[in-house]
Chain A
Amino acid sequence: GQQLNQSPQSMFIQEGEDVSMNCTSSSIFNTWLWYKQDPGEGPVLLIALYKAGELTSNGRLTAQFGITRKDSFLNISASIPSDVGIYFCAGQEGGSEKLVFGKGTKLTVNP
């Protein structure tokens, strides 16, 4: 099946720092989604991207749909302790109905 490569696997940062993570695929995707998961909870949708080059913000979060349609980036500015969690990218390959996920980036924010 389609593999999404998400990096880094984990990040340890200080409160106030900016964070960047990315996701790549071996084929062209039509949709990129970014989710956050808190412990014991289901993933929650943060941002949805549908067009190559699209840049979308949600508060301190900004995500971009790569121009090649094979990657996407998520940036978090001025991190705070409640940003702690696992961030997942997800996407749909062109013509597919399957929604596949990356392995996640675990974010730890030190106060």
Chain B
Amino acid sequence: DAGITQSPRHKVTETGTPVTLRCHQTENHRYMYWYRQDPGHGLRLIHYSYGVKDTDKGEVSDGYSVSRSKTEDFLLTLESATSSQTSVYFCASGRGGPGKNTEAFFGQGTRLTVV
């Protein structure tokens, strides 16, 4: 499995505060993804990156931004946290893009609670 770590693993924050979640991978994977997991919704793509400084939106990107300044790091920022952003966030990374080596490997997740 890919060496992929997320930090923090748990966080409680107040509504309206900014929050940054970190994802670090040691596999030199080109692609990285951020998902959120909520009961009844499965895993929904927030943003993804196909290279350093190259990012694009997923299906639930409103209220989130991302940055990738190095191959190994992908940051997810909630500019002003809301209670609807309480969720478990997963980061994943993989080698390839469309149609080749698409396998993505996941971190352990970050449980975020917005109060």
How many B residues touch the partner, as a band?
20 to 34
Given contacts A30-B98, A30-B99, contact A43 B43 (CB under 8 A): yes
Q: Are A88 and B43 in contact (CB under 8 A)?
A: yes
A46 to chain B, nearest CB (A): 10
Would you call A101 and B98 a contact (CB within 8 A)? Answer: no
Binding site for A on B (CB under 8 A): 1, 31, 33, 35, 40-45, 48, 50, 56, 58-59, 90, 92, 94, 97-100, 102-109
Cα A29 to Cα B82 with chains together (Å):
34
A103 near B97 with CB under 8 A, answer no
| Residues A98 and B48 in contact, CB atoms below 8 Å apart | yes
Closest B residue to A101 using CB positions:
B43
Contact across chains for B48 and A97 when beta carbons are under 8 A apart = yes
| Residues of A with C-beta under 8 A to B35 | 101
Known interface pairs A43-B90, A92-B102; A97-B50 also in contact (CB < 8 Å): yes
